[in-house]
Structure 1
């Protein structure tokens, strides 16, 4: 069985990287950081701020959201492996906005596939809602979002009522405003439904892209920064940090790609665990290699770390993923019976 990328898949990934380099370069990213979005001065939801609509339409025109819709429905007709490649690039670029929710809602909400509508998700279970400011629809349903059944799409008056009851929550990520939906219930299932599985996998792909990017940033800085008359990349401690970052990214990439092929909930749980760890720990090691400047607002390292922290709580947390993996192992049996242990 051949698991190498096809020429079309390589072209798809390369094209998305080129597109993001053109429409969301570092200057545009930093401008978005300075602008912030979603939370008004009065503490409510500012409906005039949030996602960059121009950027959203660019993504829609490129097929980012309609990638997995069938061609007869106006989509591209590709699958999860191709979607993972695009979301990996989005993670590299720190692309903001409810990308996963809008992608999943491409066949549910009018305009989502074309990038004309912004869709976010209320996962329930105490999780805050991201990017509520400027959203055209919210996927809601305590059990619906988690199991894929009874899912409700809020638009129009229903959306406005939902927004009116939302309370802002301070977000660690300046590019991801958060709100708490009061009274929204919902608890995790041991084996989540298709919507949540796919959301977890695409979020893991974003984490993978961030982990790979911070590894590159660390290696580049280590090859340019001098201390005591030598490049810091020549110091053994720095080499170890870079090697550890690479060693985390490789298994995470294999797990994410494999889960995209199988769609197996257990493999998706493992992929999310590995990708979350790689994204968070790589960003921390990258910050360590950058030294004092890595802690400053002007450096981009802290943005990757904050986004990685935030994603660990989205779609599938570490505790939930561990429960899925533990359930798959079955009951734990003692190595020895009582009589055998006594001799």
Structure 2
């Protein structure tokens, strides 16, 4: 069986990549790194105007009327671009929280409840009671620990990134919704694809002993492993988007997490010493992959679900 994207799906994927390339290129990425905790609301509204959050919302309700496979393609591109913010939660809130579909309202998830997102600076100033700022491994994922119950979205209260815990970001630490899990896997797939591209580009451009380092077998093996893991994850994520089966989604999540985390680490090895520097983007991909791997119960929840399915 051959599984290929339709012309419309390829056009959607290309359109999202072009939009993010214009609105969140490398300069915007580095600017966001230098000003952590601040979400570009204009970019968020641009995503809303493009239908990013309303992709699966019926046309009768003002949405685009597409399905889960199309949402996966869009989130893959968001992961590739390292787009910050609670994308998954806002997407899930479309049609449920006023303004979420258009990007006017930024929504995160806390303990499975949709809440309105406030910027880190608001929490630091004390506008969000009980929010304690924590140091995040990913500069684009601000974390706060909340010590008070959060009211629902629309009441103007939430922590900096909508998690309430230091071990997840905008989708919520205890969220186990299959769609949330799959869209997180799609973001991880985007990171896996991007670090594979970065590794190959560096291997072709960087020279040692008068030859591109890509001519050396050890580097070739690293790049080959990057490709294999990314394509394996792609097949699993795309298939799970079609079937919607929880076991397929769990397997896709595990493969995508591995492809993103191990891929970013291997990409860093291809870059050598410069890969560890702040100026390189490789560490940003690795840190984001680490943070995403803890969403929605992380790999443990997917492993348990898949094991239960196999035993049954």
**TM-score if structure 2 supplies the norm length?**
0.86
Query: What secondary structure sits across from 2:177 in the alignment?
Result: helix
Q: 1:34 to 1:130 in 2, by over 3 A?
A: farther
Q: Work out whether residues 101 and 119 of structure 1, in 8 Å CA contact, stay in contact via their aligned partners in 2.
A: yes
Q: 1:244 and 1:182 mapped to 2: Cα distance?
A: 43
* Count of matched residue pairs: 286
Q: Work out whether residues 131 and 177 of structure 1, in 8 Å CA contact, stay in contact via their aligned partners in 2.
A: no
Shift of 1:6: 1.1
Instruction: Give the greater-gyration-radius structure (CA).
Output: 1
Query: What secondary structure sits across from 1:120 in the alignment?
Result: strand
Task: Tell me the residue number matched to 2:168.
Answer: none
Q: Within 5 A, what are the aligned runs for 1:255-294?
A: 255-294=236-275
Q: 1:89 to 1:320 in 2, by over 3 A?
A: same
Shift of 1:107: 1.3
Q: Work out whether residues 182 and 241 of structure 2, in 8 Å CA contact, stay in contact via their aligned partners in 1.
A: yes
Task: Tell me the residue number matched to 2:142.
Answer: 177
Query: What secondary structure sits across from 2:128 in the alignment?
Result: helix
Q: 1:98 and 1:135 mapped to 2: Cα distance?
A: 16
Q: Work out whether residues 132 and 177 of structure 1, in 8 Å CA contact, stay in contact via their aligned partners in 2.
A: no
Task: Tell me the residue number matched to 1:141.
Answer: none
Task: Tell me the residue number matched to 2:152.
Answer: none
Q: 1:61 and 1:303 mapped to 2: Cα distance?
A: 27
Shift of 1:284: 0.4
Q: Within 5 A, what are the aligned runs for 1:1-343?
A: 3-37=3-37, 50-123=38-111, 132-133=118-119, 163-182=128-147, 196-330=177-311
Q: Work out whether residues 106 and 117 of structure 2, in 8 Å CA contact, stay in contact via their aligned partners in 1.
A: no
Q: Work out whether residues 222 and 232 of structure 1, in 8 Å CA contact, stay in contact via their aligned partners in 2.
A: yes
Instruction: String of CA shifts for 1:78-116, please: whole Å, max 9, x gaps.
Output: 010000000000011000000000000011110000000
Shift of 1:123: 3.1
> What's the RMSD between the two structures over aligned residues?
2.5
Instruction: String of CA shifts for 1:297-331, please: whole Å, max 9, x gaps.
Output: 00000000000000000124111111001111226
Q: What runs of 5+ residues in structure 2 fail to find an aligned partner?
A: 150-163, 166-173
Q: What runs of 5+ residues in structure 1 fail to find an aligned partner?
A: 38-49, 137-160, 187-192, 332-343
Q: 1:286 to 1:194 in 2, by over 3 A?
A: closer
Shift of 1:183: 6.1
Query: What secondary structure sits across from 2:73 in the alignment?
Result: helix
Shift of 1:26: 0.4
Q: Work out whether residues 120 and 142 of structure 2, in 8 Å CA contact, stay in contact via their aligned partners in 1.
A: no
Shift of 1:195: 6.8
